[in-house]
């Protein structure tokens, strides 16, 4: 969906967030969220269940896919003359900068700044982050882990 499509959760997304919130460990001490509506609404549901406030971190916003945002995969394939397909994107390998979006380097830089801040300011805390599939894929790549399938709501544990 990218950064430019800022839609709310649908009923299924709210249900998934509620189910997840009920099953999370209760010992998280801080909750960071992307400011994009779908992530922030998920964070609100989780925060209510865990009794936490939300710290908005713009670095956790989804990758900006530029003028490809909001298009169907068939339209993306057509607009990029077949250069972009889901297999390339889900591995985090595609550079969106030619389409007025973000390069992988841009995303890594902003995530590195965020992780450095978390390490510096929350070293001894258990941190929960609500973000997006593209960001999770990049985090796995940065941690030299195989990029898993990332459904709309999934839990990932990373040691930073």
- How many CB atoms are closer than 10 A to CB 45? 21
3-state SS, residue 33: strand
Block mean pLDDT (10 aa), the chain, length 160: 77 95 95 96 97 97 89 83 69 79 92 96 94 88 77 80
Q: What is the pLDDT of residue 63?
A: 87
d(CA 84, CA 89) in angstroms, rounded, equals 7
**Which residue spans within 9-94 are E strands per DSSP?**
30-33, 54-56
Q: pTM above the 0.85 mark?
A: yes
C-alpha span between 124 and 29 (Å, rounded): 10
Contact between 42 and 9 under an 8 Å Cβ cutoff? The reply is: yes
Token pair 């830089």 is found at 109
pLDDT of residue 2: 64
Q: What is the per-residue pLDDT for 95?
A: 81
Q: Which overall architecture, per CATH, does domain 11-142 show?
A: 3-Layer(aba) Sandwich (3.40)
What backbone phi and psi angles, to 5 degrees, belong to 85?
-135, 165
Question: How deeply is 6 buried, as exposed, middle or buried, from its count of CB atoms within 10 A (0-12, 13-18, 19+)?
Answer: middle
Burial class (CB in 10 A: 0-12, 13-18, 19+), 130: buried
Half-sphere exposure of 107 toward its Cβ, with a 13 Å CA cutoff? 29
DSSP helix, strand, coil percent of the chain (3-state; round to 5): 50, 5, 45
Strand partners, 128: 31
């Amino acid at each position: 969906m990218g950064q430019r499509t800022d839609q709310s959760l649908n009923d299924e997304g709210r249900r998934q967030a509620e189910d997840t919130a009920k099953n999370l460990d209760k010992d998280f001490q801080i909750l960071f969220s992307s400011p994009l509506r779908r992530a922030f609404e998920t964070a609100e549901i989780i925060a209510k269940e865990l009794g936490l406030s939300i710290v908005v971190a713009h670095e956790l916003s989804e990758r900006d896919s530029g003028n490809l945002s909001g298009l169907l995969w068939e339209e993306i394939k057509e607009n990029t003359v077949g250069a972009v397909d889901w297999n390339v994107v889900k591995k985090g390998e595609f550079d969106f900068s030619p389409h007025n979006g973000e390069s992988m380097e841009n995303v890594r830089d902003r995530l590195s700044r965020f992780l450095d801040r978390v390490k510096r300011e929350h070293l001894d805390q258990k941190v929960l982050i609500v973000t997006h599939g593209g960001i999770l894929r990049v985090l796995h790549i940065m941690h030299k882990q195989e990029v898993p399938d990332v459904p709309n709501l999934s839990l990932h544990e990373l040691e930073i």
